[in-house]
Protein backbone atom coordinates (compact mmCIF):
# COMPACT_ATOMS: atom_id res chain seq x y z
CA UNK A 1 0.00 0.00 0.00
CA UNK A 2 2.68 2.60 0.85
CA UNK A 3 4.27 2.00 -2.55
CA UNK A 4 0.94 2.52 -4.34
CA UNK A 5 0.29 5.69 -2.34
CA UNK A 6 3.69 7.04 -3.34
CA UNK A 7 2.98 6.31 -6.99
CA UNK A 8 -0.36 8.10 -6.75
CA UNK A 9 1.34 11.10 -5.12
CA UNK A 10 3.90 11.21 -7.92
CA UNK A 11 1.15 11.17 -10.51
CA UNK A 12 -0.64 14.01 -8.78
CA UNK A 13 2.41 16.24 -8.92
CA UNK A 14 3.58 15.21 -12.39
CA UNK A 15 1.77 18.12 -14.01
CA UNK A 16 3.65 20.59 -11.81
CA UNK A 17 6.96 18.98 -12.63
CA UNK A 18 6.40 18.69 -16.38
CA UNK A 19 7.77 22.16 -17.09
CA UNK A 20 10.97 21.40 -15.15
CA UNK A 21 11.33 18.05 -16.87
CA UNK A 22 11.10 19.72 -20.25
CA UNK A 23 13.89 22.12 -19.27
CA UNK A 24 16.36 19.26 -18.61
CA UNK A 25 18.90 19.03 -21.43
CA UNK A 26 18.57 15.61 -23.12
CA UNK A 27 22.30 15.74 -23.76
CA UNK A 28 23.29 16.52 -20.16
CA UNK A 29 25.33 13.30 -19.89
CA UNK A 30 27.16 13.98 -23.15
CA UNK A 31 27.90 17.58 -22.11
CA UNK A 32 29.19 16.39 -18.73
CA UNK A 33 31.40 13.85 -20.52
CA UNK A 34 32.78 16.51 -22.87
CA UNK A 35 33.53 18.81 -19.92
CA UNK A 36 35.21 16.00 -17.97
CA UNK A 37 37.44 15.05 -20.91
CA UNK A 38 38.38 18.61 -21.83
CA UNK A 39 39.08 19.68 -18.25
CA UNK A 40 42.02 17.26 -18.14
CA UNK A 41 42.56 15.53 -21.52
CA UNK A 42 45.85 13.89 -20.55
CA UNK A 43 44.61 12.39 -17.28
CA UNK A 44 40.99 11.56 -18.18
CA UNK A 45 40.37 7.98 -17.03
CA UNK A 46 39.03 5.78 -19.84
CA UNK A 47 36.58 3.13 -18.59
CA UNK A 48 37.61 -0.51 -19.03
CA UNK A 49 34.04 -1.71 -19.63
CA UNK A 50 33.44 -1.84 -23.40
CA UNK A 51 29.69 -1.31 -22.96
CA UNK A 52 30.29 1.88 -20.94
CA UNK A 53 32.65 3.17 -23.65
CA UNK A 54 30.11 2.27 -26.36
CA UNK A 55 27.31 4.08 -24.50
CA UNK A 56 29.51 7.15 -24.09
CA UNK A 57 30.38 7.19 -27.79
CA UNK A 58 26.70 6.84 -28.75
CA UNK A 59 25.78 9.75 -26.43
CA UNK A 60 28.52 11.91 -27.94
CA UNK A 61 27.45 10.97 -31.47
CA UNK A 62 23.81 11.81 -30.75
CA UNK A 63 24.89 15.12 -29.21
CA UNK A 64 27.04 15.93 -32.27
CA UNK A 65 24.19 15.05 -34.63
CA UNK A 66 21.78 17.24 -32.68
CA UNK A 67 24.25 20.15 -32.81
CA UNK A 68 24.60 19.63 -36.58
CA UNK A 69 20.82 19.89 -36.87
CA UNK A 70 20.79 23.09 -34.81
CA UNK A 71 23.50 24.63 -36.98
CA UNK A 72 21.65 23.63 -40.17
CA UNK A 73 18.39 25.15 -38.93
CA UNK A 74 20.09 28.24 -37.51
CA UNK A 75 18.79 27.54 -33.97
CA UNK A 76 22.15 27.48 -32.23
CA UNK A 77 21.32 29.96 -29.50
CA UNK A 78 22.46 28.48 -26.18
CA UNK A 79 21.48 29.69 -22.74
CA UNK A 80 23.78 32.48 -21.53
CA UNK A 81 26.40 31.32 -19.04
CA UNK A 82 26.78 33.10 -15.75
CA UNK A 83 30.01 34.91 -14.88
CA UNK A 84 30.76 32.16 -12.34
CA UNK A 85 30.28 29.40 -14.95
CA UNK A 86 32.59 31.18 -17.38
CA UNK A 87 35.23 31.68 -14.67
CA UNK A 88 35.03 28.00 -13.69
CA UNK A 89 35.49 26.87 -17.31
CA UNK A 90 38.35 29.32 -17.81
CA UNK A 91 40.09 27.95 -14.72
CA UNK A 92 39.79 24.34 -15.97
CA UNK A 93 41.12 25.37 -19.37
CA UNK A 94 43.96 27.36 -17.78
CA UNK A 95 45.04 24.45 -15.56
CA UNK A 96 44.93 21.96 -18.44
CA UNK A 97 46.93 24.21 -20.78
CA UNK A 98 49.51 25.11 -18.13
CA UNK A 99 50.05 21.44 -17.26
CA UNK A 100 50.11 20.43 -20.94
CA UNK A 101 52.80 22.97 -21.78
CA UNK A 102 54.93 22.02 -18.77
CA UNK A 103 54.74 18.34 -19.74
CA UNK A 104 56.43 19.17 -23.04
CA UNK A 105 59.36 20.86 -21.37
CA UNK A 106 61.86 18.03 -21.47
CA UNK A 107 65.60 18.48 -21.74
CA UNK A 108 67.07 18.85 -25.25
CA UNK A 109 70.44 20.26 -26.34
CA UNK A 110 68.57 23.29 -27.78
CA UNK A 111 67.46 24.14 -24.22
CA UNK A 112 70.93 25.60 -23.66
CA UNK A 113 70.15 28.38 -26.13
CA UNK A 114 66.48 28.63 -25.21
CA UNK A 115 65.39 27.52 -28.69
CA UNK A 116 63.60 24.22 -27.95
CA UNK A 117 60.08 24.25 -29.39
CA UNK A 118 56.79 23.54 -27.64
CA UNK A 119 53.19 23.52 -28.92
CA UNK A 120 49.96 22.86 -27.06
CA UNK A 121 46.73 21.97 -28.91
CA UNK A 122 43.38 22.25 -27.17
CA UNK A 123 39.65 22.57 -27.75
CA UNK A 124 37.24 25.10 -26.27
CA UNK A 125 33.69 24.90 -27.63
CA UNK A 126 32.73 28.32 -26.26
CA UNK A 127 34.42 31.35 -27.90
CA UNK A 128 33.43 33.53 -24.92
CA UNK A 129 35.29 31.20 -22.52
CA UNK A 130 38.36 31.19 -24.76
CA UNK A 131 38.18 34.97 -25.02
CA UNK A 132 38.04 35.22 -21.22
CA UNK A 133 41.06 32.90 -20.98
CA UNK A 134 42.94 35.29 -23.28
CA UNK A 135 41.91 38.35 -21.28
CA UNK A 136 39.42 39.58 -23.89
CA UNK A 137 36.01 41.16 -23.28
CA UNK A 138 34.35 38.73 -25.68
CA UNK A 139 35.10 36.08 -28.31
CA UNK A 140 38.39 36.46 -30.22
CA UNK A 141 38.08 38.48 -33.42
CA UNK A 142 41.34 37.13 -34.80
CA UNK A 143 42.64 33.79 -36.05
CA UNK A 144 46.24 34.25 -34.95
CA UNK A 145 47.83 36.64 -32.48
CA UNK A 146 51.15 37.03 -30.70
CA UNK A 147 51.00 37.50 -26.94
CA UNK A 148 54.09 38.85 -25.15
CA UNK A 149 55.49 36.05 -23.00
CA UNK A 150 54.86 37.88 -19.73
CA UNK A 151 51.26 38.68 -20.69
CA UNK A 152 50.70 35.04 -21.65
CA UNK A 153 51.99 33.86 -18.29
CA UNK A 154 49.84 36.43 -16.50
CA UNK A 155 46.86 34.75 -18.15
CA UNK A 156 47.87 31.08 -17.80
CA UNK A 157 50.11 31.25 -14.75
CA UNK A 158 53.88 30.88 -14.49
CA UNK A 159 55.11 28.02 -16.66
CA UNK A 160 58.35 26.23 -15.83
CA UNK A 161 59.71 22.71 -15.42
CA UNK A 162 62.60 21.43 -13.33
CA UNK A 163 65.31 19.25 -14.83
CA UNK A 164 68.33 17.83 -13.03
CA UNK A 165 70.45 20.98 -12.70
CA UNK A 166 68.27 23.65 -14.23
CA UNK A 167 64.81 25.12 -14.53
CA UNK A 168 63.25 25.32 -17.98
CA UNK A 169 60.89 28.14 -18.91
CA UNK A 170 59.31 29.85 -21.89
CA UNK A 171 62.09 31.80 -23.61
CA UNK A 172 60.44 33.13 -26.77
CA UNK A 173 59.67 36.85 -26.65
CA UNK A 174 56.10 36.10 -27.77
CA UNK A 175 53.73 33.13 -27.63
CA UNK A 176 51.81 32.40 -30.82
CA UNK A 177 48.09 31.81 -30.31
CA UNK A 178 45.88 30.32 -33.03
CA UNK A 179 42.08 30.16 -32.77
CA UNK A 180 39.55 28.45 -35.02
CA UNK A 181 35.78 28.98 -35.05
CA UNK A 182 35.47 25.21 -34.66
CA UNK A 183 36.85 25.63 -31.12
CA UNK A 184 40.37 24.34 -31.77
CA UNK A 185 43.25 26.42 -30.50
CA UNK A 186 47.02 26.18 -30.39
CA UNK A 187 49.69 27.83 -28.26
CA UNK A 188 53.32 27.63 -29.38
CA UNK A 189 56.70 29.11 -28.62
CA UNK A 190 60.22 28.26 -27.47
CA UNK A 191 61.60 27.13 -24.13
CA UNK A 192 64.89 26.39 -22.49
CA UNK A 193 67.20 27.41 -19.66
CA UNK A 194 66.62 30.75 -17.96
CA UNK A 195 67.85 33.51 -20.24
CA UNK A 196 69.41 36.44 -18.31
CA UNK A 197 68.25 38.94 -20.95
CA UNK A 198 64.67 38.17 -19.92
CA UNK A 199 65.29 40.08 -16.69
CA UNK A 200 66.55 43.19 -18.51
What lies within 8 Å, CB to CB, of 168 at 6+ separation is 105, 107, 111, 116, 160, 161, 162, 191, 192, 193
pLDDT of residue 16: 45
Averaged pLDDT, 128-133: 95
User: Cα 75 from chain centroid?
Assistant: 24
**Domain positions in the chain:** 21-78, 83-199
Averaged pLDDT, 45-74: 80
Name the nearest CA neighbour of 38 among 124, 128, 119: 124
Give 76: exposed, middle or buried? Use CB within 10 Å, 0-12, 13-18, 19+: exposed
pLDDT in tens, 164-183: 888 999 999 999 999 998 99
**pLDDT score of 22 more than 50:** no
pLDDT in tens, 77-98: 556 788 899 999 999 999 999 9
The angle, 0 to 180 degrees and rounded to 10, between the axes of the packed helices 83-103 and 28-39 is 40
**pLDDT score of 24 more than 70:** no
pLDDT of residue 74: 65
pLDDT of residue 192: 94
Confidence of residue 53 (pLDDT cuts 50, 70, 90): confident
Percent of the chain at pLDDT > 90 equals 48
Amino acid sequence: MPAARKRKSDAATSAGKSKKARAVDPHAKAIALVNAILSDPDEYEIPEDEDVIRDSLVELAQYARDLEGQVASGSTAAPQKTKEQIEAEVEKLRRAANAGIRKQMGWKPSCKTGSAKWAYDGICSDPIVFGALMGLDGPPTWKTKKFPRDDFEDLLGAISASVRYDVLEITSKDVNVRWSDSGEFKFSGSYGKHQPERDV
